[in-house]
Amino acid sequence: MFIMNATKIIQILTNTLRLILQILYYICESVYYHIFGLQEKNVTGEIVLITGAGHGIGKELAIQYACLGAKVVCLDMNKQTNEETAKEIKEKIGKDVYTYQCDVTRREEVFAVAHKVREEVGEVTILINNAGIMPCHTFLDHTADEILKIFNVNVLAHFWILQAYLPSMIEKNYGHIVALSSMAGIVGLPYLVPYSSSKYAVHGLMEALEEELRVTSKRKSLIKFTTIYPYMVDTGLCKKPKINQILNSLLLLSSPKDTAAQIIKAQRQNIKMRTIPLFWLSLVSFGRMFPDNAQNSIKDYIDSGVEPS
């Protein structure tokens, strides 16, 4: 009994030491990359599918990926704006992109379009779930239909798109999935209760799915995940931004062009989580170490977000 217990103790100590060394190694690696930066992957020839490509961030993503040499597939419910994105890319760099009208909330339609994409373009290797909506009201002013629509577009559409395109990535053990969450998916904001809930769900979906693939592949999955948490972007969704005048220079709305550039950089560097602007993730992580009342004081000091529309 003593010998067996001693053996177990040695195993526990050995495994613990190995864990500590692994943690120290990855901390040093992280510090190194933070100081010297990560190399950006080449996306030439990659097949990039972007939902909500007809306007805003999605449109800028399509343009910038095309400029980097990727094959771009644009999905949008609005056929006209989607084709305008393709036309602009054609005029700017002389390159054709593939456009498909698709209501991403309808699973059957998503799968039908996925079949066309597979036949006409090839297997998608970079998937960007960008489409989203953001009604701003007090919680009790949200109608049942509006809440359902928020979750259909902002959450369930991610599931349908993933179910349609993830199998080929798993089969080839290659690919990258990018999801647009929001700072409202890290910090709950007033007048955005359903929206904030949907963006928290995106965070949970990406984290759980990545871990599931890691475990089921016995730590051999090469599929990468990147979740983006923008603060406020000037796309027209944020109709009444509330910006603290004292902190105005730090809290201005980001442009779709700059936001898209940061998303692409994060994807090319295999960064798992990226807030836009960058400082928000560190600020929120640091703030959550304080007592609740202290956190509320910080929120009152920042005093920014959205007003109900």
Catalytic residues: 195
In 10 A of CB 237, how many CB atoms? Answer: 17
The first and second tokens of residue 148, run together, are 């359902």
- Consecutive H or E run containing 128: strand 126-129
Which residues have CB under 8 Å from 11's CB, separation 6+?
A: none
Rounded Cα distance between 133 and 135, Å, is: 7
Rounded Cα distance between 296 and 261, Å, is: 33
Of 48, 81, 45, 42, which Cα lies nearest the Cα of 62? 48
The first and second tokens of residue 272, run together, are 């798992």
Rounded Cα distance between 253 and 145, Å, is: 29
The first and second tokens of residue 251, run together, are 């809290």
Rounded Cα distance between 263 and 229, Å, is: 10
Instruction: Give the position of tokens 């909500």.
Output: 52
Tell me the three state secondary structure of residue 249: helix
β-partners of residue 177 are 127, 225
The first and second tokens of residue 89, run together, are 């890319």
